[in-house]
Amino acid sequence: MSDSAIIVAELSVPAREAPARAAATAAWLLAQGVIRPNERPDPLWRPSRYDPGPAASTALADRRTADRTVDGAIGDGIDIIDRRQIHDPGGNYTPPGCPRCAVPLDADTHTALILPWLDGDEPLVTCAHCGAAALLGDWSGHWAVLVSDLAVRFTNWPPLDDAFLHALQAHLGPRCRLIHHLL
């Protein structure tokens, strides 16, 4: 079985605010029962700081999923990331589409913009097809690569509920994007 992850990355929170926002998000997830502290961390088997909590199924698009898993285990760990990081889709990369016309950005151009973004400001990109200019994180695609200082990663979880995602995004910040990571 290969690993997968659903990553909710917030693109507008600056590095100096990320630790406080991450702590507040963790407190909210703990209070909701969606996560709980990982009491037996292991660098290879269970490296995440948090495990699915007693109410983790409330975060799922299909709450019956927990009933169909071994011992009701929903997924592996949950990581709340408060440092600048590249978030990628693993082996399913596709370049993002223009927010106006949806024509994908050239893959080589997109790839060339990622490392400078990691080291500096988010690039403004102009669509070669329609001429629209937008920040790279506003180009759409669940299989694209993004950079952020704040994210929540759900490893090996089934699809998340839209209402839960909206509530999570309200805690993280105004420019959240989803990345689906598959190996």
Same domain membership, residue 103 and residue 127: yes
Same domain membership, residue 58 and residue 76: yes
Same domain membership, residue 66 and residue 45: yes
Same domain membership, residue 123 and residue 101: yes
In a domain, 89, yes or no: no
Token pair of 46 as six digits: 């269970």
Same domain membership, residue 159 and residue 134: no
Give the per-residue pLDDT at 62.
86
Give the per-residue pLDDT at 70.
38
Give the per-residue pLDDT at 91.
86
In a domain, 88, yes or no: no
Residue at 56: amino acid letter? A
Residue 90 · residue 155 · CB < 8 Å: no
Residue ranges of the chain with per-residue pLDDT less than 50: 68-72
Question: Among 83, 95, 77, which Cα is nearest to 148's?
Answer: 83
105-117 core/surface letters (b: 16 or more CB in 10 A; e: else): beeeebeebbeeb
Same domain membership, residue 136 and residue 152: no
Same domain membership, residue 77 and residue 11: yes
In a domain, 87, yes or no: no
Q: Containing H/E element for 4?
A: strand 4-10
Same domain membership, residue 133 and residue 65: no
In a domain, 75, yes or no: yes
Domain count, the chain: 2
**Whole domain around residue 113: which residue ranges?**
95-140
Same domain membership, residue 78 and residue 18: yes
Same domain membership, residue 175 and residue 132: no
Residue at 19: amino acid letter? P
pTM attached to this predicted model = 0.91
In a domain, 158, yes or no: yes
Same domain membership, residue 19 and residue 46: yes
Same domain membership, residue 155 and residue 129: no
- The half-sphere exposure of 95 on its side-chain side, counting CA atoms within 13 A, is 18
Give the per-residue pLDDT at 173.
95
For tokens 């994180």, name the residue.
Answer: 137
Residues 30-72 pLDDT 10s: 999 999 999 988 777 778 999 999 999 999 998 766 554 434 4
Token pair of 100 as six digits: 């106006």
Give the per-residue pLDDT at 2.
66
